[in-house]
Amino acid sequence: MLNLSSLQPRQLAAQILNFALVLSTAFMLWKGLSVATDSPSPIVVVLSGSMEPAFQRGDLLFLWNRGQDTQVGEVVVYNVRGKDIPIVHRVVRRFGGGTGPLRLLTKGDNNAADDTELYARGQSFLNRQEDVIGSVVGYIPFVGYVTILLSEYPWLKTVMLGLMGLTVVLQRE
Amino acid sequence: MTSSTKVPVYSLSDLKNTTDDALPVYLTTLPNEPFKQSHYLADVRLVLGYTAVAIAGVLFYFDWTLGWENTKAYTGPAVLAYFLLNGVFTYWIWAVEKGTVFAGSRGKNQVTSPRQSYRPRSTSTGWTDSAGNKITMASKTKDHIPIYHLTVSVDGRKLDIKAPFTQWFSADGYFVAKPFQQWLASEISVIGEADPNNVVEEIGRGNVVDGVRPEKVQGVLDQIRKGATTGSSPGSGKARRRG
């Protein structure tokens, strides 16, 4: 433990810098991964059971968005226009491609019907380039459950951020 | 002469940090032409670090307001620049600063002793154009061993000194400045010249373990044994006191 008020200005600046570097490095690693995979969100957590038994709630998925020629059978993650919730479903039909935009129809393995009901009003297919944020290339079971807890109990976020900040600021070396 | 804060005496990092903090306080208040502290090393480190953080902050702001598609073209270069700066920052800490806790100089205008102006001096380190004494101090401790190691570089000449923390921490954890200052003034000639009153002769008090050479101890013991067998006073062995 050390007394913050007794620090020299440079020492205080160095302590704050340590904390800022932890946060910014995490952010920049994420952005670096985004650039490498060409996806705005290269790692997502499965939020629903609609893809069981392939993926469970809480699974962590790794996405790749560089191969644009998505085939039937691939699992893709897309955002519905106007909503910000990523949905993980399997491609069951593809139309177009080549010179025109590639259009996809998706369906959850565990759902009875395809996704036309989920899409935005007036939309009956996904535009590969605009709507899809990546194809699933790997996953780790269950570890994403923490983020589900964090989004369902938002006060946990504050607690976690506070704890992180305190440890970095109060420890020296 | 004690500091107001108390440290846990078994916490090595507390002992080291308190001692590190006491160095500039003493060196910038020497009675005879004190050192002027140079913050060059720390300032470069802070600029490197904060520039990197600023890049991340700006990217975060535009990513937040404009979205991924609009910032995509700038994200790659920003990430590259961030990690380059971070690399230089790390290099600076490990290869340039190397645990430096004090850097400073005494200007030539204030030189009182004529000898000092003829000293060879290094021009390789570029943070001051002073022609007086230039000093850098880097400290370290080895894991779980309560000995303070100080690498002192005066005008390019290196000197490694070490002393146990017990020499300047009281049993209840207060830093006592006087013995610390005496240690520095006695071990480092430049500081001794600047603060002659704190130069003390080493008389081998119990807490100084490093000066004791086993073969000398053996000699003293031999003397005592000889004295005992020949019937003379055992105290004669003490004539070999160091100092």
Judged by a CB distance cut-off of 8 A, whether residue A3 touches chain B is: yes
* Residue B157 sits in the same domain as residue B187: yes
Cα–Cα separations (whole angstroms), residue B164 to B16, B214, B219: 11, 19, 26
Taking the alpha carbons at both ends of chain B, their separation in whole angstroms is: 27
Q: Is the pLDDT of residue A173 over 70?
A: no
* Residue B167 sits in the same domain as residue B49: yes
* Residue B95 sits in the same domain as residue B183: yes
Domain range holding B62?
A: 1-206
Q: How does DSSP assign B148-189, residue by residue? A: EEEEEEETTEEEEEEEEGGGTB-TTSEEEHHHHHHHHHHH-H
The residue-averaged pLDDT of B169-187 equals: 93
Determine the Cα–Cα distance for residues B229 and B208; give it in Å rounded to an integer: 31
Provide long-range contacts, Cβ within 8 A and 24+ apart, for B84-87: B85/B48, B85/B51, B85/B52, B85/B55, B86/A21, B86/A25, B86/B52
Q: Reduced to 3 DSSP states, what percent helix, strand and coil does chain A have, rounded to the nearest 5?
A: 35, 25, 40
Lowest average pLDDT, out of A2-11, B98-107, B127-136, B147-156, goes to B127-136
Q: What is the pLDDT of residues B82-130, one digit of tens each?
A: 999 999 999 999 999 999 999 999 876 444 444 444 444 444 443 333 4
> What residues have CB less than 8 Å from B155, skipping those under 6 apart?
B119, B120, B121, B122, B133, B134, B135
Local confidence band at B175 (pLDDT 50, 70, 90 cut-offs): very high
Judged by a CB distance cut-off of 8 A, whether residue A17 touches chain B is: yes
* B 160-189 residues inside an 8 A Cβ radius of A: none
A70 within 8 A of A132, measured Cβ to Cβ:
yes
The residue-averaged pLDDT of B41-66 equals: 96
* B 7-26 residues inside an 8 A Cβ radius of A: 13, 17
From chain A, pick out residues whose CB is under 8 angstroms from the CB of B42: 10, 14
Looking at residue B37, what is its pLDDT?
92
Local confidence band at B20 (pLDDT 50, 70, 90 cut-offs): very high
Nearest to B46 among A17, A28, A34 (CB): A17
The residue-averaged pLDDT of A85-107 equals: 89
* Residue B173 sits in the same domain as residue B222: no
Q: Is the pLDDT of residue B211 over 80?
A: no
Summary count for chain B: helices (H), strands (E): 6, 7
* Residue B157 sits in the same domain as residue B234: no
Burial group, residue B206, by CB count within 10 angstroms (0-12, 13-18, 19+) = exposed
* Residue B28 sits in the same domain as residue B109: yes
Looking at residue B135, what is its pLDDT?
93
Q: Is the pLDDT of residue B215 over 70?
A: no
Q: Give the CA angle between residues B110, B111, B117 to the nearest 5°.
A: 140
Looking at residue B235, what is its pLDDT?
45
Q: Is the pLDDT of residue B2 over 70?
A: no
Looking at residue B202, what is its pLDDT?
63
Looking at residue A22, what is its pLDDT?
93
Looking at residue A3, what is its pLDDT?
53
From chain B, pick out residues whose CB is under 8 angstroms from the CB of A15: none
Looking at residue B142, what is its pLDDT?
94
Q: Is the peptide bond between A53 and the residue preceding it cis, with omega within 30 degrees of 0? A: yes
Cα–Cα separations (whole angstroms), residue B212 to A48, B3, B209, B243: 72, 30, 6, 12
A73 within 8 A of A172, measured Cβ to Cβ:
no
Lowest average pLDDT, out of A87-101, B39-53, B71-85, B121-135, goes to B121-135
Work out how many domains chain B is built from and give that number.
Answer: 2
- DSSP 3-state of B2: strand
* Residue B150 sits in the same domain as residue B223: no
Local confidence band at A28 (pLDDT 50, 70, 90 cut-offs): very high
Determine the Cα–Cα distance for residues A65 and A79; give it in Å rounded to an integer: 14
CA distance B153 to chain A (A): 23
* Residue B200 sits in the same domain as residue B158: yes
Q: What is the pLDDT of residues B152-169, one digit of tens each?
A: 999 889 999 999 999 999
Mean pLDDT over all residues of chain A? 88
Looking at residue A148, what is its pLDDT?
87
Local confidence band at B52 (pLDDT 50, 70, 90 cut-offs): very high
* Residue B153 sits in the same domain as residue B218: no
Judged by a CB distance cut-off of 8 A, whether residue A36 touches chain B is: no
Determine the Cα–Cα distance for residues B170 and B193; give it in Å rounded to an integer: 27
Judged by a CB distance cut-off of 8 A, whether residue A6 touches chain B is: yes
Q: Is the pLDDT of residue B212 over 60?
A: no
* B 77-106 residues inside an 8 A Cβ radius of A: 78-79, 82-83, 86
- DSSP 3-state of B120: coil
* Residue B191 sits in the same domain as residue B220: no
pTM for the predicted model, two decimal places: 0.73
* Residue B111 sits in the same domain as residue B227: no
Lowest average pLDDT, out of A17-21, A135-139, A167-171, B144-148, goes to A167-171
Q: Strand ranges (DSSP E) for B78-117? A: 100-105
Tally of CB atoms within 10 A around B163:
21
The residue-averaged pLDDT of A6-30 equals: 90
From chain A, pick out residues whose CB is under 8 angstroms from the CB of B38: none
Looking at residue A145, what is its pLDDT?
87
Nearest to A28 among B42, B56, B68 (CB): B56
Q: Sheet of A43-45: strands edge to edge? A: A43-45, A60-64, A132-140, A75-79, A86-96, A102-107, A126-127
The residue-averaged pLDDT of A105-116 equals: 92
Determine the Cα–Cα distance for residues B8 and B10; give it in Å rounded to an integer: 6
Looking at residue B139, what is its pLDDT?
95
Q: What is the pLDDT of residues A111-136, one digit of tens each?
A: 999 999 888 888 889 999 889 999 99
* Residue B8 sits in the same domain as residue B64: yes
**Catalytic status, residue A89:** yes
Could you tell me what percent of chain B has a pLDDT over 90?
60
Q: Which of A5 and A101 is assigned the larger pLDDT?
A: A101
Q: Is the pLDDT of residue B136 over 90?
A: yes
Looking at residue A99, what is its pLDDT?
82
Q: Is the pLDDT of residue B131 over 70?
A: no
Q: Is the pLDDT of residue B205 over 70?
A: no
Nearest to A24 among B46, B53, B68 (CB): B53
State both tokens at B55: 């890049």
Could you tell me what percent of chain B has a pLDDT over 70?
74
